[in-house]
Structure 1
Amino acid sequence: MIKRSFYFLWSSQTLSNMVDVFYTVALITFVLDRTGSVVFATLVPFIRVIAQLLSGLLAPLMIAKYRLTFLLSFSQCGQFLLFALMAGYVSPWGGSNLYVLYGLILAISFLDGWTTPTRNALVSRLVTDQALMKANGMIATTDQIVLFAGWAVSGLMVAWLGYFPVLLLVAVGYGLAMAVTTLIEDPTEPKRGSFWDVRSASAAYVEKLAKEAGAEKTSVTPSRWDTLKEGWIALWRSPRLRSLTLIEMTDMIGGSVWAGAFLLVFVKEILMKDEAWWGYINASYFAGAVLGGLLVVAMANRLNRNIFGAMLLGMIGYAALTAWFALNTSAPLTLFIVLITGPFAELAAVSGRTLVQRSVDKDLLPKVLSAQATLSNTIFGLSLLFMSGIAELFGIVNMYLLAAVLTVLATVVGWMNRRAFRSGPDGVEQA
Structure 2
Amino acid sequence: MKRQSFYWLWTSQTMSNAADILYVTALTVLVLQGTESIVSTILVPFFRIFSQIVSGFLAPLMLRRFRLPRLMLLSQGGQFLFFAALAIYLRSAGDAYSLTAIFALVFGMSFLDGWTTPVRNALVPRLVEKNWLMRANGLISVSDQTVQFAGWGVSGVLVAFAGAPTTMMIAGILYAAAMLFTSWIREPQRREAGIEPPVDPVGTPLAEAAASSGSRREALLEGWKLIWHSRRLRALTLIDSIDMLGGSVWVGAFTLLFVQEALGQGEEWWGFINAAYFAGAVLGGLLVVALVKRLQDRLFLSMLVGISGYAALTILYAYTTLPAAALVLVLIMGPFAELSMVARRTLIQQSASEDDLPKVLSAQATVLNVIFCASLLGMAKLAESIGIVNLYVYAGGMSLIAFAIGAAVRGHFSARRTEEERTA
> What TM-score do the two structures reach when normalised by structure 2?
0.92
Give, as a single letter, the amino acid of the residue that structure 2 aligns with 1:61.
L
Give, as a single letter, the amino acid of the residue that structure 1 aligns with 2:113.
D
Residue 159 in structure 1 maps to residue 160 in structure 2: yes
Q: Where in structure 2 are the equivalents of 1:242-321 lying within 5 Å?
A: 242-321=234-313
Hey, what's the Cα distance between the residues in 1 that align with 2:189 and 2:239?
30
Contact 1:423–1:430 under 8 Å retained in 2: no
Residue 56 in structure 1 maps to residue 56 in structure 2: yes
Query: How much does 1:311 deviate?
Result: 0.2
Hey, what's the Cα distance between the residues in 2 that align with 1:356 and 1:339?
27
Hey, what's the Cα distance between the residues in 1 that align with 2:228 and 2:418?
11
Query: How much does 1:356 deviate?
Result: 0.1
Contact 1:148–1:283 under 8 Å retained in 2: yes
Query: How much does 1:221 deviate?
Result: 6.8
Quote the residue 1:100 is aligned against.
101
Query: How much does 1:174 deviate?
Result: 1.1
Hey, what's the Cα distance between the residues in 2 that align with 1:118 and 1:39?
32
Listed as ranges, the gaps of 5+ residues in structure 2 are: 192-210
Which one of the candidate residues 368, 382, 387 is aligned to 1:376?
Answer: 368
Query: How much does 1:333 deviate?
Result: 1.1
Contact 1:419–1:429 under 8 Å retained in 2: no
Contact 2:125–2:133 under 8 Å retained in 1: yes
Which one of the candidate residues 322, 330, 336 is aligned to 2:314?
Answer: 322
Quote the residue 2:170 is aligned against.
169
3-state SS, counterpart of residue 416 of structure 2: coil
Q: Residue 400 and residue 429 in structure 1: after superposition, are their counterparts in 2 closer, same or farther (change >3 A)? A: farther
Which one of the candidate residues 392, 398, 416 is aligned to 1:406?
Answer: 398
Give, as a single letter, the amino acid of the residue that structure 2 aligns with 1:300.
V
Quote the residue 2:41 is aligned against.
41
Contact 2:212–2:222 under 8 Å retained in 1: no
Hey, what's the Cα distance between the residues in 2 that align with 1:74 and 1:164?
26
Residue 3 in structure 1 maps to residue 21 in structure 2: no
Hey, what's the Cα distance between the residues in 2 that align with 1:54 and 1:43?
16
* Residues 135-157 of structure 1 deviation map (CA, whole Å, 9 limit, x = unaligned): 00000001011111111100111
Contact 2:212–2:218 under 8 Å retained in 1: no
Hey, what's the Cα distance between the residues in 1 that align with 2:189 and 2:111?
27
Quote the residue 1:79 is aligned against.
79
Give, as a single letter, the amino acid of the residue that structure 2 aligns with 1:81.
L
Query: How much does 1:123 deviate?
Result: 0.3
Which one of the candidate residues 217, 228, 234 is aligned to 2:226?
Answer: 234
Hey, what's the Cα distance between the residues in 2 that align with 1:188 and 1:361?
15
Listed as ranges, the gaps of 5+ residues in structure 1 are: 191-218
Which one of the candidate residues 329, 333, 337 is aligned to 1:337?
Answer: 329
Q: Residue 426 and residue 373 in structure 1: after superposition, are their counterparts in 2 closer, same or farther (change >3 A)? A: farther
Hey, what's the Cα distance between the residues in 1 that align with 2:2 and 2:70?
21
Contact 1:420–1:429 under 8 Å retained in 2: no
Residue 24 in structure 1 maps to residue 16 in structure 2: no
Which one of the candidate residues 386, 389, 411 is aligned to 2:381?
Answer: 389
Contact 1:423–1:429 under 8 Å retained in 2: no
3-state SS, counterpart of residue 298 of structure 2: helix
Query: How much does 1:164 deviate?
Result: 1.9
Contact 2:2–2:188 under 8 Å retained in 1: no
Query: How much does 1:176 deviate?
Result: 1.1
Quote the residue 2:70 is aligned against.
70
Residue 225 in structure 1 maps to residue 217 in structure 2: yes
Q: Residue 68 and residue 372 in structure 1: after superposition, are their counterparts in 2 closer, same or farther (change >3 A)? A: same
Moved more, 49-58 or 36-45: 36-45
RMSD, aligned CA: 2.0
Query: How much does 1:425 deviate?
Result: 7.3
Q: Residue 39 and residue 299 in structure 1: after superposition, are their counterparts in 2 closer, same or farther (change >3 A)? A: same
Residue 179 in structure 1 maps to residue 180 in structure 2: yes
Which one of the candidate residues 333, 340, 343 is aligned to 1:348?
Answer: 340
3-state SS, counterpart of residue 63 of structure 1: helix
Number of residues paired by the alignment? Answer: 403
Q: Residue 407 and residue 86 in structure 1: after superposition, are their counterparts in 2 closer, same or farther (change >3 A)? A: same
Residue 359 in structure 1 maps to residue 351 in structure 2: yes
Hey, what's the Cα distance between the residues in 2 that align with 1:90 and 1:248?
39
3-state SS, counterpart of residue 56 of structure 2: helix
Contact 1:240–1:426 under 8 Å retained in 2: no
3-state SS, counterpart of residue 254 of structure 1: helix
Q: Residue 92 and residue 225 in structure 1: after superposition, are their counterparts in 2 closer, same or farther (change >3 A)? A: closer
- Percent identity (aligned): 50
Q: Residue 128 and residue 99 in structure 1: after superposition, are their counterparts in 2 closer, same or farther (change >3 A)? A: same
Hey, what's the Cα distance between the residues in 1 that align with 2:163 and 2:124?
36
* Residues 71-91 of structure 1 deviation map (CA, whole Å, 9 limit, x = unaligned): 111111111111111112222
Hey, what's the Cα distance between the residues in 2 that align with 1:103 and 1:74?
19
Give, as a single letter, the amino acid of the residue that structure 1 aligns with 2:146.
I
Hey, what's the Cα distance between the residues in 2 that align with 1:171 and 1:183?
19
* Residues 35-91 of structure 1 deviation map (CA, whole Å, 9 limit, x = unaligned): 111111110001001000000000011011101111111111111111111112222
Hey, what's the Cα distance between the residues in 1 that align with 2:38 and 2:93?
25
Hey, what's the Cα distance between the residues in 2 that align with 1:41 and 1:389?
20
Hey, what's the Cα distance between the residues in 1 that align with 2:212 and 2:297?
42
Contact 1:241–1:427 under 8 Å retained in 2: no
3-state SS, counterpart of residue 296 of structure 2: helix
Contact 1:145–1:286 under 8 Å retained in 2: yes
Quote the residue 2:117 is aligned against.
116
Q: Residue 143 and residue 220 in structure 1: after superposition, are their counterparts in 2 closer, same or farther (change >3 A)? A: closer
Contact 1:239–1:426 under 8 Å retained in 2: no
Hey, what's the Cα distance between the residues in 2 that align with 1:168 and 1:82?
14
Q: Residue 66 and residue 324 in structure 1: after superposition, are their counterparts in 2 closer, same or farther (change >3 A)? A: same
Hey, what's the Cα distance between the residues in 2 that align with 1:423 and 1:258?
35
Which one of the candidate residues 411, 414, 419 is aligned to 2:411?
Answer: 419
* Residues 174-221 of structure 1 deviation map (CA, whole Å, 9 limit, x = unaligned): 11111111111101469xxxxxxxxxxxxxxxxxxxxxxxxxxxx997
Hey, what's the Cα distance between the residues in 2 that align with 1:311 and 1:425?
16
Hey, what's the Cα distance between the residues in 1 that align with 2:271 and 2:2?
36
